[in-house]
Structure formats: C-alpha cells, structure tokens
Structure 1
Amino acid sequence: MAFPDRLQLPLSFDPARLARDLDALAATSWTAHYVQQNYEGDWSVIPLRCAAGETHPIRMIYSDPTVTQFVDTPILAACSAFREVIAAFACEVRGVRLMRLGAGSVIKEHADLDLDIESGAARIHVPVVTNPDVEFRLNGSRVEMAAGQAWYLRLSDPHAVANRGTTDRVHLVLDLVADDWLRGVFETELVES
C-alpha cells in the first residue's frame, strides 16, 4: 500500500495535560539544534528518550539510524502525559524529543533521509503547544496540526516551518520503527478516511 506524505493518526492526547508536562520542565535547559544552517532563530530540543549510554547533550538529541538500544532520560520521569503518548504506540520507540521553534523563528526547507514509513522509520509529531501562525509546509503545502493530535509526516520529502506567532511552538517528536502494528494503524486510517 502506498502511504501519503502526511496522515493524522487516530490518536489524540489531552492538550492541557501535555502543556502541564511542558510547564513542569520550565527549569530544564534546551539544547540548540545542531544543524544550524537549517534554521534562523530558536530551534531547540530536550531529549526524553535517547541512545543508551549517551550523556552529551548533542548526541542525546541526535537521531542516529544505526543505534538499536534506547533508554528514557531522567527528564521523562516527571512527565506522565508524555509517557502516556509514548505508551500509546505498540511498536518500537526509538528517540523521543521535545522540539521548540521559538516565536519568529524559521526552519528552512530541507529533507531528512530515510524518515519515511517505506524505509522502515516513521517520525510522529504531537503538538504540545502551538499557535495559528505556525506554518508547517510539506511538499509545498501546509499541514495544520492542533495540540494533542498525532501526525505522521514523510520528512524525507522537502519540508519547512515558520513560526510567525508570538508564542513558542513545541512538538513531542517520536521516532518509531515501522513494524506491522504501525503499518496496520496507517492502513486502517487510510481505509476509514
């Protein structure tokens, strides 16, 4: 079955609980995204699940496709709603991060290799906080995502984001192994939509 470049999954999460988890991390340091040529402004990350044994902040936010062992970071322990999102996926969950795009910031158009279900990896975005002036473009067309929704985006295709609002946009981003369970969720959603 051919999959579209975007798909809203049949999962939803309480935006207020997600925002409370984010608020609980107010004292936590964000790490600037390491691919600095891909953005202007503030694009930063908090790792919640990372490669086993990693302690350097940059390596903890890097999504290394060769790594097979992942562990929750101590930060995740304080975040019950984020843990529930992760638990909702009955497939192998690899890296999980909070990704913040500050007000007035831009992620330039780029593509991430092998981030598509056809290659065996799916990146899921769950907006935690957002605003109507966030413009996420995938293959040139806008994807509107509300807080608490779960979206698959084929990020091996060209995509860009602009936060033209006055508040930060924060997404919970999960890297998943595209196994039979996840493919079944996608196929069911395509048939029913």
Structure 2
Amino acid sequence: MRLSRPFFQLPLLFDVTRLQAEVAALPPEAWVAHPDQAPGNSAVRLITPGGGETDGVQGRMAPTPWLEAMPYLKQALAGFGVVWSRSRLMRLAPGAGVPEHADINYHWHTRVRLHIPVQTWPEVRFHCDGEVVHMGPGEAWVFDNWRRHHVENKAGGERIHLVADTTGTAAFWRFVNASPPPRAQWRKVGWDPAARHPLLTEVNDRTVIMPAAEVQWLLDDLREELALAVDTPDVRQRAALFSQLLESFVFDWRQLCALHGVNGRAAAEFQHLAGAFGQAARPLAEGLVMRTNGAGALLVLDKRVLQHLVDLDAARQREGLS
C-alpha cells in the first residue's frame, strides 16, 4: 500500500521488558530461516494460514502456538482492533541486514507492515526512500514498503522486531495520519490481564479467477504510476501503447468473466489471455518505470497481476487434486 511519506511513528509505547521476556522464553526451534534465505535473517511465525509452520499468505489466518505462548504480545496485536494477516518476529544477526528491495507483489497492494521493536540498538538503521530512522525499543512504526527500503544492523547484538501485516481500519488510518502529541503524552500500553480484545485474523480465500473489477483496479493503479526512465519520443510512444494494452486487456478479461464466471472452469482461456498479454507487454515495457520505487513496469506487472490472475492452487483444492 502506497503511503504519503516513508515513515509514520505511532504515539504508543509498549512494555519492552515484558516483550523481551516473552521472546526470550521461546525455544530455539521456534526460529526458522527467512523464506528468501537472506543471510543472518530468521523469524518466528506468529500468524499464518491455519496457525501452521508456513510463510504463506492465503487461507484462514490463525495464531501459531508460539503466539499463544506470548500473551502480552498477542494482547498488543489485538489492541489495535484491526485484522491481521501474516505476522512474525523478525531477527537480524549482528552485522546482518535486509537487502534493498520494494514490496510490490500482490499481497502488498492493500496491506502495510507494522513494526514494534522488541530488541534493538542505536546502530540499527532502517532506510526507506532516502530517509533513515532508528526504531526504538517498544515503539510502533508503519512504513511505506512500496518504496525501496533496506535495514542494516551494525550493532554487536541481535535486532528483533514484531512485524505484522494489516490493511487497517478507518480508525487505524486516522490514528496513523494524525499529528502526534508530545512524546511525554504518548499512551503506554502495558499488560492488562483483564483485557478481552479478540485477535482478529484475516480470511484470504481467493477465487480461482481474479474478478474483472479487481483486475481493473490493479491496472488503473499501475497506469497512474507509470513514468518514463528517459523522456524520448520512442519511450513516450511505447508508454502510450503500453497504457492502451492495459486498457484492452481489462476489456477482454471482463468478457471472459462474463462468459465463464470466476470459479476456474475455463482457467485455460484466462491463462491464454494472460500469456498473450505478457508477451505483448514485454517489448513495450523497456524504459517504463514506477514513479514511487523505480522498478520496471513489467516487473511490477508480473508481481502485482500476472502471477495472481489465475490461482491454480485454489483450482486444484476445489477439484480435490492436492
């Protein structure tokens, strides 16, 4: 989800001592390697599909046994009153970092990532779109992960953050965007054994075929973000043709949805259309980038739309093939 600036610090302070105690009580087997195998990166899965040991983002999300063993951390998440998707503890070894990247895949089109540092050091720096912050222990931050960002841990100790994904409610976004009061007036969020906030978790059940309205929304957003890497007549012409191709694709996808529906019975026809669309886009995409993060238009198109137009895993599950 694109935001109006790289970082937002929320006027909240969590009990660092209790957070650290709950994390320290986790057994070594709770920590797993980062799904991208980034050196020095490891994680504890907290909210996952079915509460299982997976890094997926589709299905009915639920707390894992590791989260159930951390009542204060679970209460902290529940207190936001938002629906949580995949959430983890993310650990960076001393001297390790998160390589520069932008989160432009489909999952991130409508979600942001909340960070609550549990263990950190002044030498830990978070970079996003040219701005640099140190997220202090017990603070709460939201950042625009659509922009290019990276993290570096130049400290001698491990950095551990609670990292949780959400779309947020209207009240959440009013809170994020409001001008914060002086730090002395920030709300301290302590452990409350009487609190009964339910932990709300996402149900992400995709149709086999992406509905036409969603395709239109994604591609309209992509067209608004297109920019020229080099302003030449040739690139301008390709940008115009690329935009026309996007518009034509939506019309054709809508017609297939009207003819076949979105339950996957005619998945092969939708796949054929998507494949032809991708082939037609490739020679036009050179020199076209995204204004926000500088990624190539075709890369964003692939990650945001083409890889998710037809959900074959969902089709197999509905047909009992997996």
**TM-score interval for Structure 1 and Structure 2 normalised by the shorter chain:** 0.7 to 0.9
Partners of 1:116 and 1:155 within 8 A in 2: no
Equivalent position of 1:145 in the other structure = 135
Query: Deviations 1:136-180 (Å, cap 9, x if unpaired)?
Result: 111122111101000001111111111111100000001012321
1:175 maps onto 2:165 in alignment: yes
C-alpha distance in structure 2 between counterparts of 1:4 and 1:83, whole Å: 28
Describe the shift of the 1:114–1:13 C-alpha distance in structure 2 as closer, same or farther (beyond 3 A): farther
Query: Residues 48-63 of structure 1 correspond to what in structure 2 (within 5 A)?
Result: 48-52=46-50, 55=52, 57=53, 60-62=54-56
Paired residues of 2:7 and 2:142 also in contact (CA < 8 A): yes
Q: Determine which structure has the larger strand proportion and give its number.
A: 1
Q: What CA distance in whole angstroms lies between the structure 2 residues aligned with 1:28 and 1:146?
A: 27
Q: Call closer, same or farther: CA 1:121–1:142 in 2, change over 3 Å.
A: same
- Indicate yes or no: 2:95 matched with 1:120: no
Q: Are the aligned partners of 2:117 and 2:140 in contact in 1 as well (CA < 8 Å)? A: yes
Q: Secondary structure at the match of 1:61?
A: coil
Residues 18 and 182 of structure 1, relative CA distance in 2, 3 Å threshold? same
Query: How many residues of Structure 1 are paired with residues of Structure 2 in the alignment?
Result: 180
Partner of 2:172, secondary structure, is helix
For residues 6 and 60 of structure 2, the distance between their equivalents in structure 1, rounded to whole angstroms, comes to: 28
What are the Cα deviations for residues 108-161 of structure 1, in whole angstroms up to 9, with x where unaligned?
A: 1111116999x4312100000001111211112211110100000111111111
The answer on whether the counterparts of 2:126 and 2:150 sit within 8 Å (CA) in structure 1 is yes
Matches within 5 A, 1:1-193: 3-36=4-37, 39=38, 41-52=39-50, 55=52, 57=53, 60-62=54-56, 64=57, 67=58, 69-113=60-104, 119-189=109-179
Relative to structure 2, which stretch is displaced further, 67-76 or 126-135?
67-76
Give me the whole-angstrom Cα distance separating, in 2, the residues matched to 1:113 and 1:142: 21
Cα distance in 1 for residues equivalent to 2:131 and 2:106? 18
Relative to 1, partners in 2 of residues 1:81 and 1:91: Cα closer, same or farther, differing over 3 Å? same
User: Which amino acid counterpart does residue 104 of structure 2 have in structure 1?
Assistant: L
Offset at residue 83 of structure 1 (A): 0.9
**Partner in structure 1 of residue 256 of structure 2:** none
User: Do 2:83 and 2:167's aligned partners in 1 also have CA atoms closer than 8 Å?
Assistant: yes
Q: After TM superposition, what 4+ stretches of structure 1 lie above 3 angstroms from structure 2?
A: 26-29, 114-117
* 1:139 partner letter: D
8 A Cα contact 2:31 2:43, kept in partner: yes
On the 8 A contact 1:114/1:121 being kept in 2, the answer is no
Q: With structure 1 as the length reference, what TM-score do the two structures score?
A: 0.84
Task: From the superposition, tell whether residues 125 and 21 of structure 1 become closer, same or farther in structure 2 (CA, over 3 Å).
Answer: same
Is the contact made by 1:120 and 1:179 (CA closer than 8 Å) also made in structure 2?
no
Alpha-carbon separation, structure 2, partners of 1:116 and 1:11: 27
Give the structure with the larger helix fraction.
2
With the length of structure 2 as denominator, give the TM-score of the two structures.
Answer: 0.52
Q: Which amino acid aligns with 2:169?
A: D
Task: Verify the 8 A CA contact 1:120 1:178 in the aligned structure 2.
Answer: no
Unmatched runs of 5 consecutive residues or more in structure 2: 183-322
**For each residue in 1:64-104, what CA deviation from the matched residue of structure 2 results, as whole angstroms up to 9, or x when unmatched?**
3xx25210001112112211211121111112100000001
Question: For the residues of structure 1 that align with 2:86 and 2:80, how far apart are their CA atoms?
Answer: 13
